[in-house]
Amino acid sequence: MKTSADDSSSPMDEPRWSRRYDICVNCRSNRRPHAGRGYCSRCYPLLLRIEQAKRWTLDDRRSLRGFPSGPGWPIDSWAFTAIQTGVLRQLLDRLDLFRIWEDHRAGRVNDLDVEYQLSRLALAARTKTGWNLFHGVCHALRSDFSKKQITILYRLLNDIEEDIPWRGVDLARCYDEARAAEDPQEKRAKSERALERMIERLDSSA
C-alpha cells in the first residue's frame, strides 16, 4: 500500500502528467493534477493571481480586480505601490515555498530542515515556547536517524504543514516592508513634515 510518505512511482505505471509536461514547471512535482500552462492545481492559481496583480494600476479602477479591499480607500500612490509590491512578493514567496517543499520531499533534505519544519508547526499550533520548542533537535536526528528515515519523517510532517490553511496575503507585512525599504533621509523628511503639521494644528487650536 502506497502512503503519502512514499512519493515514488514508476513511469510505466501512470500516463504522462499532461500533454506537454511530465511535472509542474514550478514545484517540479506531479503529485497534483495539471491545471494549466504546465502548472499543477496548487501552483496555477497563484500564477493567475500574480499576473492579475501585475496589471493593477490606480489609473484604471477596472484593473483592480482582486486588489485587497479595506476602509482605507481612496489610497495614495505610496500605499498602492506598497500593497502591490507586497502582494507580488508574498505570492512569489509562496510559489518558492512549494518548490522547496517538493525538493525536500524528493530526498534533498537534512536534519536541520526537519528542525525548521517542526518549529514552523510549533508556531502554527501556537505553542507557548513557539519557534524555540524544538531548538537543537537536529543533533538528535543526525545521530539517531538515517537519511531515509529523515526523508520519511519530513514527508509525514509536510503532509500536516500542507494541510494548514494559508491565511493569504498579510497587508501589515506589505506596509512594514515598504517602510523598511524607504530611504532614511526621506523617512526623516516625512517625520519632520508630520511634526510641522502637528505643531500647526496645536497652534491653530490654542
Q: What is the 3-state secondary structure (H, E, C) of the chain?
A: CCCCCCCCCCCCCCCCCCCCCCCCCCCCCCCCCEEECCEECCCHHHHHHHHHHHCCCCCCHHHCCCCCCCCCCCCCHHHHHHHHHHHHHHHHHHHHHHHHHHHHHCCCCCHHHHHHHHHHHHHHCCCCCHHHHHCCHHHHHHHHCCHHHHHHHHHHHHHHHHHCCCCCCCHHHHHHHHHHCCCHHHHHHHHHHHHHHHHHHHHHHC
> What ranges do the domains of the chain cover?
13-106, 107-175
Q: Which residues, given as ranges, of the chain have pLDDT below 50?
A: 1-3, 11
pLDDT value of residue 57: 93
pLDDT value of residue 2: 47
Instruction: Please give the model's pTM, rounded to 2 decimal places.
Output: 0.80
168-200 residue pLDDT tens:
999 999 989 888 887 777 766 766 676 677 667
149-176 residue pLDDT tens:
999 999 999 999 999 999 999 999 998 9
pLDDT value of residue 84: 93
